[in-house]
Amino acid sequence: MRMWWFITTLVITAAFICNSPAYAYDNNPLQDICVAVSDSEASVFVNGNICKDPKLATSNDFYFPSLNISKVVYPNYGIGATFVGVQDMPGLNTLGMSICRIEFEPQGHAPLHTHPRATELVTVLEGTLYVAFLVPDTANFFYSRLFSKILYPGDVFVFPRGLIHFQYNVGDTKAVVFGNFNSQNSGIVTVPSSSFASQQLIVDDILALGFQLNKTEIAELRKKFS
């Protein structure tokens, strides 16, 4: 009888350990790739940054000025942006958050893109913005459902992590938004430029089949995104 109870207890304990999520899980990735190396001198910290001695930290590590100024301009898309991450505010390291401010000229847009490591929450400060994201159809992955909304000053909208989305200024005046991310390194993958302007080009046959275009049209798109 004692042996039977011992075996039963062992089986139950083993089943609990194997199925309990508290014992084994993968952390969310903090960068696009992380190649394993055996050389300790070439190792990278889990958060991708070396942490400063806390005694040497200052208030400026947790401060960023002039978020109201567009530091990067993308004329082809009619937008200007300022992104605040760990490189700009070192105190964000390991806190799992970052922020950006984007100005949209009339008809300016953030093209179809995803953030592989973050959910994005946008708040409109000025203007009128058309925003949307796509959710794959679980029954047929060739289709998707569009969630869209026209936003006005004070409106808030959220883009779930990893889903393709866009923003488009449908007004006649400038639109300004704040974007908040629940990652210090949200990542960004733009669908058009990633498809047609990768450093090692995707072969024309693949693009032609995927986008249902001919090779002449593919060549024209390469010129536009090069």
The three-class DSSP label of residue 111 is: strand
pLDDT of residue 17: 46
Flag whether pLDDT at 22 surpasses 70.
Answer: no
CA separation for the pair 204, 196 (Å, rounded): 9
Whether 26 has a pLDDT exceeding 90, the answer reads: no
Separation between Cα atoms, residue 60 and residue 90, nearest integer Å: 9
Average pLDDT over residues 98-113: 97
Q: How far apart are CA 179 and CA 116, in angstroms?
A: 15
Residue-wise pLDDT for 35-85, tens only, equals 777 776 766 666 778 888 888 899 999 999 999 999 999 999 999 999 999
Task: Give the confidence band of 6 by pLDDT, cuts at 50, 70, 90.
Answer: very low
Rounded CA gap, 90 and 22, in Å?
Answer: 30
Task: Look at residue 42 in the predicted model and tell me its pLDDT.
Answer: 67
* pTM score, whole prediction: 0.82
**What is the spatial order of strands in the sheet that 98-104 belongs to?**
72-74, 79-84, 98-104, 175-181, 120-126, 156-159
Give residue-wise pLDDT tens across range 169-199: 999 999 999 999 999 989 999 999 999 998 8
The per-residue pLDDT for 7 is: 47
Q: Give the range among 4-18, 61-75, 109-123, 209-223 with minimum mean pLDDT.
A: 4-18
Is 115 annotated to bind a ligand? Reply is yes
Taking the CA of residue 135 as centre, how many other CA atoms within 13 Å lie in the half-sphere pointing to its CB? 8
Q: How far apart are CA 192 and CA 110, in angstroms?
A: 11
Stronger pLDDT, 124 or 140, i.e. the higher one: 124
The rounded mean pLDDT for the chain is: 87
Question: Among candidates 117, 88, 156, which has minimal Cα distance to 28?
Answer: 117
Query: Per the annotation, does 165 bind a ligand?
Result: yes
For residue 141, the model assigns a pLDDT of 84
pLDDT tens digits for range 132-151: 999 999 899 889 999 999 99
How large is the average pLDDT for residues 99-127?
A: 97
DSSP 8-state assignment for residue 203: P
Closest by CA position to 166, among listed 187, 145, 191, 141 = 191
DSSP-based three-state secondary structure for 82: strand
Q: Which domains does the chain have, with CATH numbers?
A: 55-225 (2.60.120.10)
**Mean pLDDT computed over 155-159:** 98
